[in-house]
A and B are shown apart, each in its own frame.
Chain A
Amino acid sequence: MERILDKGRLGALVAALADWTVLAPALQDGLWAYRPVAGGEASLTLGHPNTVQPPKGQSFPQREVFFTFDETPDGQPRLTPLVPRPAPRVVFGVRPCDGQGLTHLDQVFGEEAPDAYYQARRGTLAYVGLACNSPPSRHCFCTCVGGSPFGEAGLDVLMIDLSDRYLVRALTPVGEALMTAGQGVLTEAGAQDRAEAQQRRLAALAHPQRAVAAPQAVPERLKAGFGSALWERLAQPCIGCGICTFLCPTCHCFDINDEVASQSPVCGSRVRTWDSCQFPDFTMHTSGHNPRPDLGARLRQRVSHKFQYYFENHGVFQCTGCGRCITACPVGIDIVTVVNQVAAEAAAMQPADS
């Protein structure tokens, strides 16, 4: 299903989606973030480059309470499970790289070992994507990692900006339902609109991006470069914070803790929170031994997970080329440079006949 949405009627479309809570990127305190929007907002636009944080928190929030625990009056332990039951939500303005990122989260929390909490949130979520006519950041590199500025993976609807209007394309049954709900606001798409969208797509694909060299060879080369001294050198400026992983659309590591509100009588909750492989305590063993003792080992883990281990397990890169980790790194650690340098060194060291 393909329709046309007049740009001035975006607020009317949101109003038509009465059965959903609508979130869209809004600029607040200098930050682009997904926020609930009210229907009928005439000023609503999708003028964002990309949001500071990806939409992953919608299905994988930074804090998830699994259950609460306490004592019954006769002193027996009692657990109260808390599986979320969120109302239907639709997230507007998701960039294709972040849509791609959602497919990785679905893989991790859905396919192999379904996670009840993730599934409960994901089941009521719909994503409306916005194609990138030009790269929103100078650090974009989606085309090197299997993505596209017009990519549809993970999205229910894709909107393509045609200056004064959007071409709106349903990609899933949920997307069809959204467009059916908004049909009063949408108009028929003609051959001219489709041709224009196709032109935009070709122009977007031709737009230069950062480049990961010979991406298909990267997993093998990183494997060969595991022991490289480059990891330590490249991690030298690293301050060991969690920005790169917490802003990543695909990083999904977590920690589980009991937050004890009272010891007597016992009560509290078991909570899952985001964790980061960049923190020293992430791999700390109870013996005091830390198998990833320094910044080089942690940089290697982050990069190799995205470009080697995940590829070995799932056949795709975990990185979607959104560029957030490059933009937000306080000291300029650049994942494209890291991959290229380690891979190039490994390639140079391999015998010519292999």
Chain B
Amino acid sequence: MIDPEELRTRARDLLEGGQVRAVIGYRRGTRGWAAEPVVITRSEEAQDLVWDPSCVHNLALYLVQDRRRRGVLRGPPDRPIGILAKGCDARAIVVLMQENYVQRDEVYIIGLSCESSGMLDERKLAGAAEGIDPQDLEAVDFEGDAFVLSSRHQQWRLPAAGVMAERCLECRNPCPKVHDTLLGKEPREQERRGQALTPAMSDPFAELQRFEQTADSVEARWDFWSRQFDRCIRCFACRSVCPMCYCEECMVDSISFVVTPDTTAQEKANRLRWIERSASRSDNIGYHLTRALHLAGRCIDCGECERVCPVRIPLRLLNTKMERESRERFGYEPGASVEVAALLSSFRDDDPNDFIR
């Protein structure tokens, strides 16, 4: 288990030594037990950093925000930015590097191994134990393969697998492969499998398989997805939280962000609007399916889109479907290595399709 104190010391040393200009991490929020992302720039802020099962957020998003801010400042970074990275965060950083959005020497990765555990899914808490009310919790913590949850008056020790996020149960790389320093143990695959966790813990795409077995016809899937997409309120939280959604201009926005004083009225008027602003079924489907396709071979399954959705659209099903395609068809795993060319910007002589050869 990672001692949060060790993490704080590492961050403090990096900031004091001037090796990094900031550290992206987690701290305790004001709305209860859940951690929140933070960017610290002073060494004394390192004492605020936390590490517990509520550190769900994919911090790679803040690398994207940092780069955007630097774009405004028009200056190259003088020093790297430090970032805490779980296995999934590190995979996202790798994709950003593969795509040349972030350079390796601009980032100092403090890898955090989830070891034999993962992150808590708040939605699984209700009814997970006698008397537990997510609203009353004050703190959550790791303890081996369990989570310890505390309210003001009571404490529960729950097997992590029962309340862990699905994507963590299916995770094959809970320890970051790319890092500058690593905290926590690198779990060996055998050890991992030997633990008394649910079968899904070692079964990739388990939730997708369950869905495909339940909705096993085109009609059933159409009914299912129609109901899901009809709920969409187009708050774009799924896009906003995604570190891979860094386009300057997005097909769903009403106007172009790259409008400059030189853009003519004609150019503005002629801008195509692919997807209307209305939260109607066809526009919602247009939005979500386009996004899923844009993430094919890039989504590293941090599950953030699904976690943040206020109307609970199971977006992971779309993204893991794409992930499984890229794995089965091309043997490609997004975020595995900076050296490998990105799936959609490379081709092989043995590609199964004629048109690309």
Q: Which residue numbers of A lie inside 8 Å of B, CB to CB?
A: 29-31, 52-53, 62-63, 137-139, 236-237, 239-243, 246-247, 255, 257, 259, 271, 273-276, 279-281, 284, 286-288, 326-334, 336-337
Contact = CB atoms under 8 A, between A and B. Distances in A.
Contacts of A280: 253, 257
Given A29-B312, A62-B279, A241 B32 contact: no
B30 interface: yes
B38 A276 contact: no
B36 A331 contact: yes
A334 B29 contact: yes
Most buried by B among A138, A287, A332: A332
A91 to B, nearest CB: 18
Q: Report whether over half of chain B's contact residues are helix, strand or loop; otherwise say mixed.
A: loop
Interface of B: 29-32, 34-39, 57, 61-62, 123, 135-136, 227-228, 231, 233-237, 239-241, 253-255, 257, 259-261, 263, 268, 276-280, 304, 307-308, 310-312
Given A332-B29, A332-B36, A281 B255 contact: yes
18 contacts: A31-B231, A31-B312, A52-B311, A63-B279, A137-B135, A138-B32, A139-B31, A239-B241, A241-B241, A243-B308, A271-B278, A280-B257, A327-B31, A330-B237, A330-B308, A332-B31, A334-B30, A334-B31
A255 B39 CA distance: 34
A9 to B, nearest CB: 29
Given A138-B136, A239-B61, A332-B36, A287 B261 contact: yes
B240 A257 contact: no
B30 A337 contact: yes
Given A241-B240, A255-B277, A259-B276, 12 more contacts: A62-B234, A138-B135, A239-B241, A241-B241, A242-B234, A279-B236, A279-B253, A280-B253, A327-B31, A330-B304, A330-B307, A337-B30
Contact of A284 (B32, B61, B257): B257
Contacts of A336: 30
B237 A242 contact: yes
A138 B137 CA distance: 10
B279 A237 contact: no
Contacts of B278: 62-63, 259, 271, 273
A176 B231 CA distance: 34
Nearest to B29: A332
